[in-house]
Amino acid sequence: MNYNNLLIQKSNNRAVITINRPEKLNALNKPTIEELHNALTVLKEDKEARVIIITGAGQKAFVAGADISEFASFGVEEGKQLAAQGQKLLFDYIENYPKPVIAAINGYALGGGLELAMACHVRIASNNARLGLPEVTLGLIPGYGGTQRLAQLVGKGKALEMILTAGMIQAEEALQWGLVNKLTSQEELMDEATALADAMSKNSSTALAAAIRAVNAGYTYQRSGLDTEIEEFGRCFGTADFKEGTTAFLEKRKPKFS
């Protein structure tokens, strides 16, 4: 299968998916989300690909967010559908994927990029990584599971601090708070990710899938939280602040909220 926005490499019982939009800092748009879903669906049936690594092309960004120009004109129902479809196709799909998925965070992981990393089962970051959920600067909230998974990983207080300030944290702080599992240099990032993948791939594939299901079962309460997130995310699209936030972003200026 050919992909316009992805590179797929397979070797030694692992597959590396590289989001290949470096000119856009690997921002997630609808075609990229669909391609990721399709690639993961194919790899699910590939017995030789026992562990998946997801990373971004270039040295600046893992994924620097969503493609805001795609949804700047959306209304409430379109916003809800955007969140619901994205969660179904990619973010929930990865979280419940039967094979281990490792995020190799090689730079900025912002908005949908951080949500993608949090949906993965394990995260390794390079020491130049910067992580954050800046959606409130657009008059939005995270819509791809960020309000739920961030709180699960770092606790309610830190999650609310990050979301409400829209601030980025450095890789060292992300490690301290448990947002990432391990920190390494950018040069050694993929080596560390592949070493972790190799350690996992030596184990029983059925046991790996069972372990993922078992751990996830402890967080099944998040379903109502994700439904609430979809509702609130969609409602943001009906506000003046959303219009001002996205317009300011596209015009490359700071927003002036009422």
Q: Are 189 and 124 in contact (CB under 8 A)?
A: yes
Pairwise CA distance, residues 216 & 211, whole Å: 8
Distances (CA, A) of 174 to 53, 118, 157, 231: 19, 12, 14, 28
| DSSP codes joined into one string, 51-65 | EEEEEESSSSEEE--
**Is residue 135 annotated as part of the catalytic site, yes or no?**
yes
Q: How many CB atoms lie within 10 A of CB 199?
A: 11
Burial class (CB in 10 A: 0-12, 13-18, 19+), 32: buried
**Is residue 232 annotated as part of the catalytic site, yes or no?**
no
Q: Which residues pair with 170 in a beta bridge?
A: 130
Q: Which of 135, 188, 229, 232 is catalytic?
A: 135
Phi first, then psi, for residue 185 (nearest 5°) are -75, 160
Q: State both tokens at 91.
A: 């973010």
Q: How many CB atoms lie within 10 A of CB 210?
A: 12
Q: Which of 34, 48, 70, 115 is catalytic?
A: 115
Q: State both tokens at 212.
A: 């993922």
Give the closest residue to 95 by CA, choosing from 122, 67, 58, 133.
Answer: 122
What value, to the nearest 5°, has the Cα angle with vertex 68 and ends 9 and 238? 135
**Which amino acid, residue 169?**
I
Catalytic residues: 115, 135
